[in-house]
């Protein structure tokens, strides 16, 4: 990422072709809209909400949801896993909608390209799905977009390095779905030092730092003996994670909770002193913003977009995963410095308030589309 890109906090300066205005009928296609189904679903919901609040007549179609999802008073329809049904409804919508927006290039492959059906469209790109060679259908979905919405400067730099310039790209940072900061519990100041990890654990994408944090735990508890690690999340690599933890000398200080419903997450956050996700593959990292909303300092890495969201030495630390001991040192520094924990947590909340609450996302997004 170049210096000019690093200085742009609210989006790029590139030109756009697609413009969405109040009163238009717009079709939004997504893989999933239901809560608890990951970061891309959160982006899709926030996008739908911002469009609706802008006065856009937005139609929502998901590929995989089991039932309709209501967003800002609008109910989605679902293809219930049928790609044929999803494509058919996308083509039919071209007869009645002025513009389209898709939550990813995979979903954008359904966009109508037959003469007479072609409508302008925007597509979100998120990170790992575009940081690799793309098959022809996904490349067409990316190159054919009138507007490419990118979650970070880091993601844009990596995708352009691999695939060439995207002249219609616009950086639009993401945000939580809330505008109200979470209360900071008084018990946090006196509770057992707790580091929280939240994220999917999938084979093939086991890059979010679980291995590194688990490996750091024996050395950490040698100086912070009551420190505990709490891991939240599910995925296809959970058996691998369980084996990793069972093999650790510090296994008694590590708790794997697995999937936790959204309604129970506030209690999980209330017990956390530090949030750690030193990942190698985040295109943005919505959970960093969620940690800031809860006033929890963040440990991210210098190997991905976490360094763009988390301010090193201010809202937490960005560790070098290729430097042995850096992660352990930063965890120890935070867990043994109560004043530092409080100050960095407060700085994170201020950064969330300025950049990563829903209202800030809405303003950026509406600027990007019109």
pLDDT tens digits along 58-102 = 999 999 999 999 999 999 999 999 999 999 999 999 999 999 999
pLDDT at 187: 64
pLDDT at 89: 96
Between CA 189 and CA 197 the distance in angstroms is 19
Indicate whether 4 pLDDT > 60.
Answer: no
Instruction: Read off the tokens for 37.
Output: 């189904």
Ordered domains of the chain (ranges, CATH): 3-172 (3.40.50.2000), 186-356 (3.40.50.2000)
pLDDT at 125: 98
Helix (H, G, I), strand (E, B) or coil at 144: coil
Mean pLDDT of the chain, nearest integer: 92
pLDDT tens digits along 183-222 = 887 666 678 999 999 998 888 777 899 999 999 999 999 9
pLDDT tens digits along 238-272 = 999 999 999 999 999 999 999 999 899 999 999 99
- Give the residue-averaged pLDDT of 52-60: 96
36 or 128: whose pLDDT is higher? 128
pLDDT band of residue 142 (cuts 50, 70, 90) is very high
pLDDT at 19: 77
pLDDT tens digits along 5-23 = 332 333 333 344 577 888 8
pLDDT at 189: 65
Between CA 282 and CA 303 the distance in angstroms is 9
Question: Around 148, how many Cα atoms within 13 Å sit in the side-chain half-sphere?
Answer: 26
Instruction: Read off the tokens for 332.
Output: 């120890």
Residue 105: which residues within 8 A CB-CB, separation 6 or more?
A: 123, 125, 129, 130, 134, 138, 141, 142
314 alpha-carbon distance from chain centroid: 21
Indicate whether 179 pLDDT > 90.
Answer: yes
How far is CA 269 from each of CA 37, 46, 151, 185, rounded to the nearest angstrom? 18, 22, 24, 10
pTM: 0.90
pLDDT tens digits along 307-364 = 999 999 999 999 999 998 999 999 999 999 999 999 999 999 999 999 999 999 999 9
Burial of 57: CB neighbours in 10 Å, binned 0-12, 13-18, 19+:
middle
Residue 145: which residues within 8 A CB-CB, separation 6 or more?
A: 108, 121, 122, 123, 168
SS (H, E, C) 143-177: HCCCEEEECCHHHHHHHHHHHCCCCCEEECCCCCC
């Amino acid at each position: 990422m170049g210096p000019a890109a690093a200085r742009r906090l609210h989006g790029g300066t590139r030109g756009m072709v697609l413009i969405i205005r109040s009163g238009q009928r717009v079709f939004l296609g997504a893989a999933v809209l239901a809560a608890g189904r990951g970061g891309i679903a959160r982006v899709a919901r926030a996008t739908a909400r911002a469009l609706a609040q802008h006065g856009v007549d937005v139609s929502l179609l998901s590929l995989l949801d089991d039932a309709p999802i209501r967003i800002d008073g609008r109910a989605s329809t679902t293809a219930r896993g049928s790609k044929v049904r999803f494509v058919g409804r996308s083509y039919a919508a071209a007869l009645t909608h002025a513009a389209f927006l898709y939550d990813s290039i995979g979903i954008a492959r359904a966009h109508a390209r037959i003469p007479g059906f072609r409508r302008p469209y925007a597509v979100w790109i998120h990170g790992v799905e575009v940081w690799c060679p793309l098959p022809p259908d996904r490349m067409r979905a990316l190159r054919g977009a009138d507007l490419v919405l990118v979650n970070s400067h880091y993601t844009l730099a990596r995708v352009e390095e691999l695939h060439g310039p995207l002249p219609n790209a616009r950086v639009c940072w993401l945000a939580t779905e809330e505008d109200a900061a979470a209360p900071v519990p008084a018990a946090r100041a006196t509770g057992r030092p707790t580091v929280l990890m939240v994220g999917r654990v999938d084979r093939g994408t086991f890059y979010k730092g679980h291995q590194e944090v688990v490996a750091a735990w024996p050395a950490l508890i040698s100086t912070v003996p009551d420190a505990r690690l709490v891991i939240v999340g599910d995925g296809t690599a959970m058996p691998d994670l369980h084996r990793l933890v069972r093999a650790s000398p510090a296994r008694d200080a590590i708790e794997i909770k697995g999937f936790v419903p959204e309604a129970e997450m506030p209690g999980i956050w209330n017990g956390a002193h530090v949030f750690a996700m030193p990942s190698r593959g985040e295109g943005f990292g919505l959970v960093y913003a969620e940690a800031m909303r809860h006033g929890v300092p963040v440990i991210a890495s210098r190997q991905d977009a976490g360094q763009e969201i988390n301010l090193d030495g201010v809202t937490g630390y960005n560790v070098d995963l290729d430097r042995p001991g850096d992660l352990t040192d930063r965890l120890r520094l935070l867990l043994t410095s109560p004043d530092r924990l409080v100050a960095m947590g407060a700085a994170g909340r201020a950064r969330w308030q300025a950049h990563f609450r829903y209202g800030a996302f809405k303003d950026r997004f509406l600027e990007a589309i019109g």
